[in-house]
Amino acid sequence: MKTRVTELLGIEYPIIQGGMAWVAEHNLAAAVSKAGGFGLIGAANAPVDVVRMEIRKAKEITDKPFGVNIMLLSPYAEDIARIVVEEGVSAVTTGAGNPEKYMDMWKTAGIKVIPVVASVALARRMERYGADAVVAEGCESGGHIGEQTTMTLLPQVVDAVKIPVIAAGGVGDARGFAAIRMLGAEAAQIGTRFVVAKEAVVHEAYKKRIISAKDIDTEVTGRTTGHPVRSLRNKMTREYLKLEKEGASFEELEYMTLGSLRKAVVDGDMIDGTVMAGQIAGLIKKEQSCSEIIQEIINGADKLLGI
């Protein structure tokens, strides 16, 4: 299945693994790239040396192209923007900010730039800045979200820009993949399903929680702070929502979630940790290798699309 995104990234299949904080480390990113998709290392708030090591370790596992997701609000964003050039990463996806000031440096180095957007206006702006593609992310996604659904956002972004559009949010199987292709996307960025991949170094309890999740098990916290996050319902989300209702301050809410994703991913704390996952969690029923996940989605979608 060739699209402008497979051409742009030099990959076999138009499937990108989302750059997930704590989850998307070198083992997962390299496994996805090895399987013909495009793996991303999630830099999130990690210090520069950690990200550099992650890139080098991924290179030891695969010689296929992979990228780094840069959270532009990270205190280390500036340095990470520079080391992706030094380490010869082939693409970056960016979130939480404006990548404009790094554009020239990345372009000169031949790095493809793919911002994540949650609105048509932002997609247009990113195209103007010189982005090579955009990820249109709907609010079904796990993690930080916007307001529009994938179903509605995607075709509007596709109509608004000329660069290729990658769909994120709610793609969990061949049907979802075929659907986003019909809506005009040239690749899918998948997060939640890759959290339960065999190669994902994620606590067993986290994977089991996703596998046992029902359709209605996610909750959005942080709407009052302007930074909404989707995760699986637990004691943490219940207490957070209660505090929000009571009008808690931004600082109080921030303090509550400090280190909480790490707690879930590394320690397997499903009670007080933040178990980020998308609404598609209810569809995910087993742990599989990255290669099995990609093959199943692509082969199924080929049949559905009559390719």
| Binding site residues, ligand FMN, CB under 6 A | 18-21, 23, 42, 44, 69, 71, 95, 116, 137, 140-143, 168-171, 189-192, 195, 276-278, 280
- Which tokens in the block code for residue 63? 């010689």
Shortest separation between residue 24's beta carbon and ligand FMN, angstroms: 7
303 C-beta neighbours (distance < 10 Å), count: 10
Kindly list the strands in the beta sheet with 165-168, ordered across the sheet, starting from the edge strand earlier in the chain. 15-17, 187-190, 165-168, 134-137, 112-117, 91-95, 66-71, 39-42
Q: Specify the residue, 28 or 163, whose C-beta has the smaller distance to ligand FMN.
A: 28
Q: Specify the residue, 53 or 283, whose C-beta has the smaller distance to ligand FMN.
A: 283
Shortest separation between residue 245's beta carbon and ligand FMN, angstroms: 25
Shortest separation between residue 17's beta carbon and ligand FMN, angstroms: 8
Residues 171 and 174: their CA atoms lie apart, in Å, by 8
Shortest separation between residue 143's beta carbon and ligand FMN, angstroms: 3
Q: Specify the residue, 122 or 248, whose C-beta has the smaller distance to ligand FMN.
A: 122
Shortest separation between residue 205's beta carbon and ligand FMN, angstroms: 14
User: How would you classify the pairing of strands 134-137 and 165-168?
Assistant: parallel
Give the CB-nearest residue to ligand FMN. Answer: 191
Q: Specify the residue, 252 or 301, whose C-beta has the smaller distance to ligand FMN.
A: 301
Burial group, residue 72, by CB count within 10 angstroms (0-12, 13-18, 19+): middle
Q: Specify the residue, 80 or 280, whose C-beta has the smaller distance to ligand FMN.
A: 280
38 C-beta neighbours (distance < 10 Å), count: 30
- Beta bridge partners of residue 187, listed in sequence order: 166
